Chain A
Amino acid sequence: MEVGNCPPVATATVSDDENSPRSAGRLQLLAAFVLIATVWLVVLPQLARHPSVQEKIERNERLGIDPSATYYTEIEAMDGIIERMQSLNRHQPDLLWSTQSPDTP
């Protein structure tokens, strides 16, 4: 990626004029952490207990699916799926390659 310029970073020494925005920033950060803690520790656990969400979680766990996977190797169910496809290719090698159906003379 392009080597761009870094945005200004906080310096070690801060003048008195900068104290006000700095403390505002600290307050904003604190507020954000309180919000994160509320959502992740209270709202989401409640939501996870909702029957429809619970059903979804259980189904994905049963099927070995991680919905947040970024690549196929992160999905546990993939081994079984690949095995099933390989078995299909072993027994009917033309099934997915030849347009002629087995019944066609």
Chain B
Amino acid sequence: MSSPPDDPASASPATDQIQPPARGRLRDSQDWWAVLLGSLILGAAVIAVQAGQPENTSEQVTELQAIDSTITLLEQQLADPEFKADSPEFASATTELKAQRTARKELVEGLARNPLKAWLAKPGSWQDSPLAAFSKKDKSLLPGLLGAFVVSLLLFGSALRVMGTPFRRFAPAFVVVFLLATFAYTLAAQTVIKQYNLEYALWALAVGLLISNTVGTPAFLRPAVQTEFFIKTGLVILGAEVLFSRLLTLGLPGIFVAWIVTPIVLISTYLFGQYVLKIPSKSLNMVISADMSVCGVSAAIATAAACRAKKEELSLAIGLSLTFTVIMMVVMPAVIRAVDMNPVLGGAWMGGTIDSTGAVAAAGGILGDAALQVAATVKMIQNILIGVTAFGVAVYWVTSVDPSSSGKRPGVMEIWYRFPKFVLGFVAASIMFSIIYSTGDLGQATVNAVISGTSKTMRGWFFCLAFVSIGLETNFRELSSQLKGGKPLVLYVCGQTLNLCLTLLVAWIMFVKVFPEATRELLQ
């Protein structure tokens, strides 16, 4: 991966105090820059949302509270068993509830608007003509694409300039890398491709690989091939979307299926890879174990960055995950239907096992509303686990894996030097936005506006740029060498088998044996 070369002259003389190696310091510096850039983007979004707030905010909050009271009253009425479902009063209360919910949604949206939303965009879906990807509801997305480009160019260009890459060398290279990322996004946005969860990461990687393995990556592009930097910054921004209050959404059954089974599967798969399959690369083992047990591409990115996996290892893990996701999102709903499984149980099973979030929702949608709701909620709770996983893996790596390869027990300072600092930014963003979210309606509206208008667009671009970069600096030989002996495939299949069995067992215990009332309620 591209990083400025080591400078032996700058290495500190040997002293009693442990000094980080030059490469470590460069990495640290990039980590802190990632935290700074991520914070700048999130901070700017919060300020923009605050600035865009209407003057009568307090009146709107009061109005919102009144609507909430009406909704609660209507929900209580509708939940009353004596209230006949076929009565005209029931139909009228249902219509009123829908109207109140719509009014609430509009009021919340009006409470916090993100002015940056119009200026940051990515290509939309298209079916017949790729030109349709650059407009949405007859509105051009080009200003938004240009905005995302300018923001990325200025932020990364400035940071890299301080780290030693002249802006005049970075800018032309970045234009090309950004165009390649736009091309990859456009390929991924075709409706058929989207339906089968073939995410942008795959196409970004393919576009980069295509260039590097045919004509070769031109030397002038190298300053903008910044895989690690893009990923770390994207992860800090993703932190804003990791909201801990979501963890309790599905009560104890959700926690058991998503937060008890998942770590057990992750650790068991990793140990199986180490001691049974004896996979030579611990980081490859960890990335595959995490993307299979947690939530696919996003978990793979976070874990790979936390354990400093090689770029080919991340590519392989994502390839495996996407392949099995496509199979599972088609096969699992069919199996659940064939055995006439309770849709709530089926939804929990799919939510806990299918890697990708979008694929879980699509598979749940096939089985109906109850399955969709449970599947998507279980996956959402699993999504929150990314923060804990990344932090845990980073701590485990610096305290156990790195020292065992050097044979020395590290001191506190050495652990600090080795710790990937951007993970702290990721966790801090998650905690901060979780706190803002928990402050009430205004806080929730602010966080939602930041996420929908800025964070999900920008981290999407940064991850896409990272995968184009990986493709540009990888050759097929390196990639295929990772599959030698088929061990990664065996690891994935064995881990996923354990995941399928354990998730089904725990979901059955929770939703059928322990909480049958809740299951009945969810089915209504």
Contact = CB atoms under 8 A, between A and B. Distances in A.
Contacts of B200: 68
Interface residues of A, number: 62
B196 interface: yes
Nearest to A66: B358
A89 B521 CA distance: 11
Contacts of B214: 25-26, 28-29, 32
A85 B250 contact: yes
A73 B451 CA distance: 8
Given A69-B361, A75-B361, A48 B192 contact: yes
A96 B518 contact: yes
Nearest to A97: B251
Contact of B215 (A1, A29, A67, A74): A29
Contacts of A41: 130
Given A1-B309, A48-B191, A71 B27 contact: no
B365 A59 contact: yes
B376 A25 contact: no
A89 B456 CA distance: 28
A51 to B, nearest CB: 13
Interface stretch (B142-150, B423-431, B509-517): B509-517
Interface in A1-15: 1-4, 6-12
Contacts of B72: 90-91
B484 to A, nearest CB: 18
Given A69-B358, A88-B521, A97 B252 contact: yes
A72 B383 contact: yes
Nearest to A102: B517
A99 B379 CA distance: 23
Contact of B249 (A29, A47, A85): A85
Interface in B280-309: 283, 295-298, 304-305, 308-309
Interface string B36-77: 000000000000000000000000000000000001100110
A81 B298 CA distance: 21
A72 B380 contact: yes
B105 interface: yes
A88 B72 CA distance: 10
A53 interface: yes
Given A44-B193, A63-B372, A81-B377, A75 B357 contact: yes
A69 B189 CA distance: 11
Interface residues of B, number: 100
A24 B76 CA distance: 72
B250 A96 contact: yes
A4 B310 contact: yes
A84 B439 CA distance: 20
B194 A67 contact: yes
B239 to A, nearest CB: 12
Interface in A50-105: 53, 56-57, 59-60, 63, 65-75, 77-79, 81-92, 95-97, 99, 101-102
A1 B219 contact: no
Given A44-B190, A81-B372, A4 B1 contact: yes
Contacts of A78: 376, 380
A34 interface: no
B380 A40 contact: no
A39 to B, nearest CB: 9
Interface stretch (B154-162, B406-414, B470-478): B470-478
B456 A74 contact: yes
B231 interface: yes
Given A2-B310, A9-B222, A78-B380, A96 B253 contact: yes
23 contacts: A1-B231, A1-B310, A32-B210, A40-B187, A48-B190, A53-B192, A57-B195, A60-B362, A60-B365, A65-B362, A66-B194, A66-B358, A68-B188, A68-B193, A69-B356, A72-B383, A73-B456, A82-B246, A82-B249, A87-B75, A89-B251, A95-B515, A95-B521
Interface of A: 1-4, 6-12, 22, 25-26, 28-29, 32, 36, 40-41, 44-45, 47-48, 53, 56-57, 59-60, 63, 65-75, 77-79, 81-92, 95-97, 99, 101-102
Interface of B: 1-3, 23, 26-27, 71-72, 75-76, 79, 101, 105, 127-128, 130, 187-188, 190-201, 210-212, 214-219, 221-222, 225, 227-228, 231, 238, 241, 246, 248-254, 283, 295-298, 304-305, 308-311, 314, 329, 356-359, 361-362, 365-366, 372-373, 376-377, 379-380, 383, 451-452, 455-456, 460, 463, 473-475, 478, 514-518, 521-522
What are the nearest 3 A-B pairs in CB distance?
A96-B251, A69-B358, A10-B216
